[in-house]
Amino acid sequence: MGAKVVCFGELLLRLTAPGAERLLQSAALDVCVGGAEANVAVSLANFGHEVDFASIVAANPLGSAALGELRRHGVSTRAVQRSQHRMGLYFLEPGAVRRPSAITYDRAGSAFAEAASDQVDWRDILPGTDLFHISGVTPAIGPNAAAAAIRAVNAAAEAGVPVSFDGNYRALLWDAWAGDGPAILREILSAATYAFINERDIALILRSRFEDRASAFAAAFEAFPKLRAIAATTRQQASVDDQALAGELVTREGRWASPVHDLPGVIDRIGGGDAFAAGALHGFLTRRDAQYTINFAVAAGALKHSIPGDFNRVSVAEVEAAMAGGSLDVKR
């Protein structure tokens, strides 16, 4: 078995307009389970790690179905609590050609948003854990969730558990409750060992301007002494379904860049960043070298663009085949 990982965040139901339709253009929606930290949890479980998902989920059939989907992918839900509040939702209108995708959130009053900031007892969950992962989506949900996120990363840091943080700034969520996103994310990033952030995230959190990514990364390492590594992607878009993806990994010792993956015919890019983060974390957890780690992370993110839904349903072998430019012939 691989490393033991704990992911903390809201488990969501995603409702998607079929095909390339506008939202409710026809009376149908496709449903899947998702959420930033849940996406990372599923990927890491598929990569052979022992993963606990910590959350608060509705005590109704929707919550039960969502938890069942996590368990189906090998993610433990022992650290999930149930609540009489509702399930969080988000609606996706897929883009096409020159029309970008659009997301509508429906998360106010959810089980996770309404949970008390101290509802999770990290003393029962963190022992024996090799990594704790959280994203910037979680504190953006509301004041309770922001306080819970800060409490969680501080508990992990105090327990000596490395913290992984994915920036994931969501302006629509922060604006809904006038939360001070930069200040809260700065406090969370102060506890992080690994960060998935780019120059825009760093400029926002540090309330500064940077000429380029390199200077932003240097400022982040100076501002956050616990930070060991930063990974980020670079995306090129000819159209919504014709893109290219590359990435870079920067530590205090050096910088490593991945090859570019051309992605014509994108099926679903939602969750691509989470797949990238999980790929990098797999490299860190298995003590692979930096070049392998960034190549694996980008290949994992690239493969997610071929899979409908939030989850990246791929194995280590499949990612490594993509890294090697494997044949696209039918596997028989």
Per-residue pLDDT of the chain (332 residues; tens, 9 = 90+): 689 999 999 999 999 999 999 999 999 999 999 999 999 999 999 999 999 999 999 999 999 999 999 999 999 999 999 999 999 999 999 999 999 999 999 999 999 999 999 999 999 999 999 999 999 999 999 999 999 999 999 999 999 999 999 998 999 999 999 999 999 999 999 999 999 999 999 999 999 999 999 999 999 999 999 999 999 999 999 999 999 999 999 999 999 999 999 999 999 999 999 999 999 999 999 999 999 999 999 999 999 999 999 999 999 999 999 999 866 665 65
Tally the C-alpha atoms within 13 A of residue 296's C-alpha that lie toward its C-beta: 26
Question: Residue 331 has what pLDDT?
Answer: 65
Q: Which tokens hold the place of 23?
A: 């939202």
Question: Residue 83 has what pLDDT?
Answer: 97
SS3 readout for the chain: CCCEEEEECCCEEEEECCCCCCCCCCCCCEEEEECHHHHHHHHHHHCCCEEEEEEEEECCHHHHHHHHHHHHCCCECCCEEEECCECEEEEEECCECCECCEEEEECCCEHHHHCCCCCCCHHHHCCCCCEEEEECHHHHCCHHHHHHHHHHHHHHHHCCCCEEEECCCCHHHHHHHCCCHHHHHHHHHCCCCEEECCHHHHHHHHCCCCCCHHHHHHHHHHHCCCCCEEEEEEEEEEECCEEEEEEEEEECCCEEECCCEEEECCCCCCCHHHHHHHHHHHHHHCCCCHHHHHHHHHHHHHHHCCCCCCCCCCCHHHHHHHHCCCCCCCCC
Going 127 to 276 to 86 to 62, the CA torsion angle's sign is negative
Which amino acid type is present at position 316?
A: V
User: For the structural domain made of 4-122+133-322, what CATH number should be given?
Assistant: 3.40.1190.20
Long-range pairs of 251-258 with CB within 8 A, sequence gap ≥ 24: 251/290, 252/221, 252/228, 254/290, 256/290, 256/291, 256/293, 256/294, 257/294, 258/294, 258/295, 258/297, 258/298, 258/299
Q: What are the boundaries of each domain within the chain? A: 4-122+133-322
Question: What is the Cα–Cα distance from 71 to 38, expressed in whole angstroms?
Answer: 11
Question: What is the Cα–Cα distance from 321 to 316, expressed in whole angstroms?
Answer: 9
Which amino acid type is present at position 126?
A: L
Question: Residue 2 has what pLDDT?
Answer: 87
Tally the C-alpha atoms within 13 A of residue 124's C-alpha that lie toward its C-beta: 8
